[in-house]
Amino acid sequence: MENFTKLKHVVAMGIILILQFGVKISHASTMENESLILGERLGVTASEQQDRTVRGTVYSTEDGLTLPGVSVVLKGTTRGTATDIDGGFTLSVPDEGGTLIFSFVGFETQELNITNQSVFEIQLKPDVTSMNEVVVVGYGTMRKGDVTSSIGGVKEEDFVKGAVRDAAQLIQGKVAGLRVTTPSGDPAAGTQINLRGINSINGTNQPLILIDGIPGDMNTVAPEDIESIDVLKDGSAAAIYGTRATGGVILITTRKNDQGRNTVNYNNYVSVQTIQRRPNLLTGDDYRRLIAEEGIPYTDYGGNTDWIGEMLQTPVSQNHNLTLFGGNSTTNFTGSINYRNWDGIFLRTGQERLTIRADLNHSMFDDKLRANVQVINRVFKSERGGADGYAFRQAMIRNPTDRVRDDQGNWQERDGYFYENPISRIYEYTSQSRFNEMRMSGSLNYTPVDNLDLKLLVSNVQSNDLFGGATTFNHTDTWLNNRNSTASRSTSAHNENLVELTGNYNKSIGKNFFTVLGGYSWQDAVFEGFNASNWNFPTDLYTWNNLGAGAALQNGQASMGSNKNQWQLAGFFGRFTYSYDDKYLFMASVRREGSSRFGVNNQWGTFPAASVGWRISNEPFLKNVSNIEDIKLRAGYGVTGTIAGNPYLSQISYNFNRDQGAYVGGQWVQGFIPTRNFNPDLRWETKIEYNLGVDFSLFKDRLSGSIDFYRRDINDLLYNFPVPTPPYLFGSMMLNAGSMQNDGMEVLLNFTPISKAKFVWNSNFTYSTNRNKLIDLSNDVFDVSNEFFNAGGTGEPIQDYTHRVQVGGPIGQFFVLKSVGVNEDGLWLIENRNGEVVPITEAVQEDRQFYGNGIPRHIVGFNNSFTYGRVDVEVNFRGAFGHDILNFQRMFYENPKNIAYNMLNTAYDPVYGQRLDSDLVYVSHYIESGDYLKLDNLTVGYSFPGRGVMKNARVYASGLNLFILTKYQGIDPEGVSVLGFSPGNDERDKYPTTRTFTLGLNISF
Amino acid sequence: MKVFNKIVLGSALVIGGSLAFQSCLNLDEQVYSEVLSENFRPGERDIPAIIAPVYGSLRALMMGWQGHFDVQEESADVIVTPARPNGWYDGGTYVRMHQHTWTAIQWQPTNLWQSSYRSITTANRVIAQIEDDQISIENGREAVIAELKAVRAFAYYLLLDNHGNVPVVTDFRDVSLPQQSSRAELYDFVISEIEAAMPDLSQDARNTYGQMNYWVAKTLLAKIYLNAEVYTGTPQWQKVIEVCDEIIAGGAYQLDNVYAEVFHWENQNNEEIIFAVPYDEIFGQGNTVHMKTLDPLSRFVYNMQAGPWGGNCAVPQFIDTYDEEDGRLYDTWIMGPQFHANTGEMVISYTKEVPSIAATTSNQGYRIGKYQIKQGATGSLDNDFPFFRYADVLMMKAEALLRLGNGTQAAEIVSEVRARAFANTNPAKATVTAAQLEGNSRYQYGYQNLDGSIDLDTGVIPFGGFLDELGWEFAAEAHRRQDLIRFGVFQTKSWFNHRPHPQAQDKIIFPIPEAELNNNPNLTQNSSY
């Protein structure tokens, strides 16, 4: 809970300074008939009496830190003050004494009888009612109780512990409706995020990620440097971000030092990883047995090599984070250094990261002007070998009787189609990549008159990427393609600017409270890239550092390229909120946004939103019902957009293109071709969302949570629409066509089954379900259309598509020949379109049918934390149900037909009572239920009491991805992509997911 | 002081904000890596680049992945792609091509349709741009337009031959959904287009290599007349002779003394080639015929900078028709042991036998070697694909003569074409008689069983002897499907693992691709699809 309080402090400061009336209302019962409390005026009244002075300091019971900005009022009078930045106060009181009332947002109000004492220490207890939590919303913060939209938030103390990859994994399973998965075990790979289903076909489904208000990504700051993450789920909350918000908005708040505390915090952990589940292949001994017993003509080279074992390692990874908080009430800073060095389970894979952040705050003119400067610099580096998904495939299929090296110590290569020694690929290829990003932002807050706050925010983000990769003479590429050492280099630079001007005003008149926000935002970005490759080098010692030494570029065989593009986005936005008597809540917002990425005809769009709330618990008939702290009903409506991924899509432009060139006039010339079918009418996708929800807090907040129902109508879908090729030049064209619908429900429950002095058990349960439907794929111009498109691919040698997206159906459906048996010849028996069973040789493409869906219908998360004295235990479960996975591993390797490649040790097992004698083929047999329940995170920690300069210390052990209940036979049912149009394809070329064990230490001084 | 502060700060914010504001409302898109049409005024210098895409799309169409070559050869009796240990079942796509069980979603004919229309639409676009003066040409404007129309007619000819009933679009500016034409209407359209373009086409054969000139247009005309009976029901044999005679009389082309030279990697400007689709391993990539046919081990034989894929090969029954002394057998097919270019070791030996389309080993079946593979070849051959060559003109004339009853003269021409094939072995064998040409084919038609035996179909094929001559001369030149249809074999005979389809007569044209039917409600599917 401690960091949760910090955030409250942050916001409380703001609220005290800006929203005085809000404070007043929430404490109306203790301050009836009183007007303004704060400031010098109070001092004037106090001095007129026969008085004495009392002083004191206000602390939080939660973390023992002082609390600034606490209101201190002498009961029954207008006398009062507020604590300073060190939590101290001085107040004149009548000689006879009285009662002081201490109140502060987020804390329980406390009364104190003044005795003869003149110096006091006051401990304020946090007000644990969840409705008082502060949540970050678009361009500001709000009390949870005032929010009328669906917003999910997770504070630092509730984050997933252990070796967490990025910010998204911190909240994995903790926000209902937000699905975070890690499909790859590669330490450099990211997470996949999806909020409320698939909402776009060609645009992004990724949420807008803002770090302290500035666009970034899940890796912009280190996970250890994050204080809270809030997720704007429904359209009424997200609409203020316009065209970037359909995938939701994730607001990351970094750790801040608003109390002027002076603390050093050090965090360290070490982790090891193992593969989630190892595929069981035929061994060398199995080969010899099959040769001897069944006469299967395998080649026996005499050995027994565990190829997967050869390419795996047990990686040890480490992470260090040092954060400094320092300064005083007017000038303070937060600085953090985060270093992380992770290795992967594949040999020669890993990544190093260094992230440094400095945050400086200064306030002047009686806090009327506040400035902030923040700098984040990060460097991601990796030097790797050739261990990729393809090498993993080679380890799967390589003859287990073969050896890694021959007698001379050279790599043992063999002939074969796509058949290479995986270990040689790993060692004979090296790549180096470096990513640098420098983010600088500054803001000025100015409060010219009470209740009005003007803010100017400016930021600049510059990043660049540099990559080099090279193969040696001993790489299989020399053997296979006669290319003697290859090398490539690429680089890119990205520059992004943001300017934002916002004004906030609020006013309370009697029981009416309203706020107004207005603002303007500008964003522009430039991206530039360059790449070149070469081969046939005289030596392999140059690697990528002397590209000119190769011959292929000079011979015109190798490639070189460069590109540049730019986009701009401008927006005007406003928001109005109104509440009456803390019972009836209303919010309306609008954004008017223009983008360079759309045709002039449709450059600007409007994105309105409105929501209402009713705090039914504040009505007289519920007000005094015990066990009901809060019940709020909400309804919201909001419009957001999605921009097509690439710039230029609307432009009439041409390119010179070698592929379309020809031999004309006795020489080779490049072809001058239109880049695409022209569409100057291109515009954004529009998502209209309706959200109904309830927030509740019951039994003294022992049970709280939210339930939300939503429906999303997405219109003007950007789709690469098939158009007739006469008359159009290309068979497809980016058009706004079609519509899609998502609806679903989300449940969040927080409960505290046990709350004793020594033993506390907090539990959190999330559930979400989503239903997706593609309504239409046409527009006014093309009323007749393909009612479907195919997606996903098996790759060689099956060469087939896997999914079909059909109008009227959901995204993610497999489209396949349904296998119902195997005949005595070992051929698949297929149920054809007339329902008859035929051998696969007689089946035609028209016999394919829909069979299962790769997107889970139900997602659950169940998170528990136990505190017993100084011991804390955290147990998190995660599950997904109602979905299927196409197991490529079995489709390719559980078939005895191709003995040139190794296979799973189940390949010779009978299928439907028969051994297969069928070419590798995509049939429904390989589509399995993907349902699973995981023990994802188990953490045990012990906190030491503070001693001397050490404020506190904690050690913990943690495991990620520990245990799984599933019928799925592949490596990991969660290690599968769930985005795009072929979700649920568990590809054969992959970096398998891992199980991670972590030991960590956390100390504060 | 306070008021002053407020004013200063407030105005600073307002000024700062409004500065940001002014510069920050410009949403014009800056385009860097593409050429915006408004910034580019093409002139005469740009004409080769502007018309290049019309030809450029023919490269992928002819010898690219599952292109025209596969459509013409895999549906016929010379080449097959059997499943091999490394794959090549590919969801049954090659089996369907071989057994004529393709449907409206078969990729190969869909690909052919799309590529043909890409050329057509590009031609339409450039014609419209020239006509609207978006591209200014001062000299030879008519010649450029005529050439574009002739390429367009060529692409329509491919559709006439393969899909039959397709929509005709000639105006780029018209984006309404086009109407479908019947095969006979398309036939008339293509002929009239060629005739209309003819007067403005260049008669200079040497400087128009790879492009549409007068002679290419004539050859195309002859080809269409040759198949007129298939297209319209009315034969045009006399017209074939007339057009071929004009080409022969023009003297712009002649037979190369060495058959293999026509297909050499340096075959550009070969005097036998009338119309080529030029390829270049760097500037004009896309000839991947060697990649599809060779086993990966053959890379050592040619020191290749690529690993071939190992797929298609010759149908053994066709190989059996050759005279062993016919040089074209060895110029067309790679057979027997293959040796490492550097070490001289044998790396693989290709055998004639192909047991079944369902299962073969990696070395079974003779491979296509017609397009000679140079040492150090990459994944894309340098060899130009000769779409029309002089021997074709001679053989078209011979066939027309033969069918009009003038077998003797036909035999003379065929013997002339055969001469080089036997020049180094047995020149006497070059001569054929009218009776041989009129007689039955040497091809042992019939279904091949797994044990290699053939269920013989001994029915006589009229002019079967001449069909054999076409097979030997033009094997692996994407002629075979058309020839088999004209000789009635396509619809009636069994070969390898192919039996006549129950609706065989309808299989002589491919279905309208399903995607196109869905996009354009004016289209009706071809019969029995």
| Residue closest to A233 by CA, chosen among A816, A770, A663 | A770
How many CB atoms are located within 10 Å of the residue A471 CB? Answer: 25
Whether omega before A620 lies within 30 degrees of 0, making that bond cis, reads no
pLDDT for A4 equals: 42
Mean pLDDT to the nearest integer, B322-331: 97
| Residue closest to B279 by CA, chosen among B209, B201, B208 | B209
Pairwise CA distance, residues A173 & A660, whole Å:
50
| Residue closest to A890 by CA, chosen among A819, A803, A811, A995 | A819
B163-193 pLDDT, tens digit each: 999 999 999 888 788 999 999 999 999 999 9
Cα B401 to chain centroid distance, Å, stands at 27
Side-chain half-sphere CA neighbours of A301 within 13 A: 17
Q: Which residues of chain A have pLDDT under 70?
A: 1-50, 62-64, 105-106, 127-133, 258-260, 644-651, 724-727, 729-731, 779-786
pLDDT for A488 equals: 96
Q: What count of CB pairs under 8 Å joins A to B? A: 274
- Across chain B, mean pLDDT equals 92
CB-nearest to B37 from A654, A785, A922 is A654
For residue A480, list chain B residues with Cβ-Cβ distance below 8 A: 296, 299, 307
pLDDT for A7 equals: 41
* B48 contacts A669? CB cut-off 8 A: yes
Helix (H) or strand (E) holding B244: helix B237-250
Mutate to test the interface with A, among B7, B27, B135 (most CBs of A within 10 A): B27
* B91 contacts A799? CB cut-off 8 A: yes
How many CB atoms are located within 10 Å of the residue A687 CB? Answer: 29
Residue A401 φ then ψ, to 5°? -85, -5
How many CB atoms are located within 10 Å of the residue B41 CB? Answer: 10
Which alpha helices (DSSP H) does A688-782 contain, by range?
A: none
* CA separation, residue A436 to residues A334, A380, A439, A463, A527 (Å): 21, 7, 10, 5, 14
DSSP letters for A61-95: TTT--B-TT-EEEETTSS-EEE--TTSEEEEEEET
For residue B103, list chain A residues with Cβ-Cβ distance below 8 A: 844-846
| Residue closest to A734 by CA, chosen among A718, A749, A748 | A718
**Residue A196: left if φ>0, alpha if ψ -120 to 50, beta else—which one?**
left
| Residue closest to A132 by CA, chosen among A148, A152, A146, A115 | A146
Contacts of A1003 (CB under 8 A, 6+ apart): A265, A266, A950, A952, A953, A954
Collapsed DSSP state (helix, strand, coil) of residue B515: helix
* B10 contacts A666? CB cut-off 8 A: no
Closest residue in A to B30 (Cα–Cα): A566
Cα A828 to chain centroid distance, Å, stands at 42
Is residue A647 a contact partner of residue A604, using CB atoms and an 8 Å limit?
A: no
Interface of A with B in 474-513 (CB under 8 A): 480-483, 499, 501
Cα A992 to chain centroid distance, Å, stands at 20
Mutate to test the interface with B, among A663, A802, A815 (most CBs of B within 10 A): A663
Contacts of B263 (CB under 8 A, 6+ apart): B331, B370, B371, B372, B383, B386
β-strand partners of B112 = none
* A651 contacts B36? CB cut-off 8 A: yes
Pairwise CA distance, residues B464 & A653, whole Å:
54
A909 CB near a chain B CB, below 8 Å?
Answer: no
Which residue do the tokens 């290479």 mark? A420
Pairwise CA distance, residues B442 & A355, whole Å:
78
Pairwise CA distance, residues B526 & B512, whole Å:
6
Is residue A329 a contact partner of residue A260, using CB atoms and an 8 Å limit?
A: yes
pLDDT for A2 equals: 42
| Residue closest to A675 by CA, chosen among A643, A701, A652, A659 | A652
Q: Is B422's pLDDT higher than 90? A: yes
B308-319 pLDDT, tens digit each: 998 899 999 999
Look at the pTM and tell me if it is higher than 0.90.
no
* A660 contacts B57? CB cut-off 8 A: yes
* A661 contacts B26? CB cut-off 8 A: no
Contacts of A368 (CB under 8 A, 6+ apart): A446, A447, A448, B5
Residue type, A960: L
Mean pLDDT to the nearest integer, B56-63: 92
Closest residue in A to B347 (Cα–Cα): A415
Fold classification of B42-282+386-519 (topology level): 1.25.40
Mutate to test the interface with A, among B11, B18, B24 (most CBs of A within 10 A): B24
Q: What string of H, E and C letters represents the secondary structure of A340-401?
A: EEEECCECCCEEEEEEEEEEEEEEECCCCEEEEEEEEEEEEEEEECCCCHHHHHHHHHCCCC
For residue A731, list chain B residues with Cβ-Cβ distance below 8 A: 114, 515
Pairwise CA distance, residues B14 & A520, whole Å:
12
pLDDT for A857 equals: 94
Which residue do the tokens 């010692």 mark? A541
The superfamily in CATH containing domain A2-126 is Carboxypeptidase-like, regulatory domain (2.60.40.1120)
Alpha-carbon gap: A499 to the closest alpha carbon of chain B (Å): 7
Pairwise CA distance, residues A304 & A287, whole Å:
10
- Give the whole-number percent of chain B exceeding pLDDT 90: 78
pLDDT for A612 equals: 96
Mean pLDDT to the nearest integer, B229-243: 97
Q: Is B109's pLDDT higher than 90? A: yes
Is residue B467 a contact partner of residue B461, using CB atoms and an 8 Å limit?
A: yes
pLDDT for A39 equals: 35
Mutate to test the interface with B, among A499, A562, A919, A988 (most CBs of B within 10 A): A919
Contacts of A855 (CB under 8 A, 6+ apart): A197, A198, A770, A772, A810, A811, A812, A883, A978, A983, A984
pLDDT for A15 equals: 36
* A595 contacts B118? CB cut-off 8 A: no
pLDDT for A10 equals: 40
**Residue-range domain boundaries for chain A:** 2-126, 260-427
| Residue closest to A315 by CA, chosen among A1002, A1005, A997 | A997
Alpha-carbon gap: B333 to the closest alpha carbon of chain A (Å): 22
Look at A756 and B68; give whichever has higher pLDDT.
B68
Which residue do the tokens 């404070």 mark? A23
Pairwise CA distance, residues A310 & A746, whole Å:
45
B468-524 pLDDT, tens digit each: 999 999 999 999 999 999 999 999 999 999 999 999 999 999 999 988 887 788 999
Pairwise CA distance, residues B373 & A144, whole Å:
74
CB-nearest to A655 from B34, B56, B210 is B34
b/e code A34-64 from CB counts within 10 Å (16+ = b): beebbeeebeeebeeeeeeebebbbbbebbe
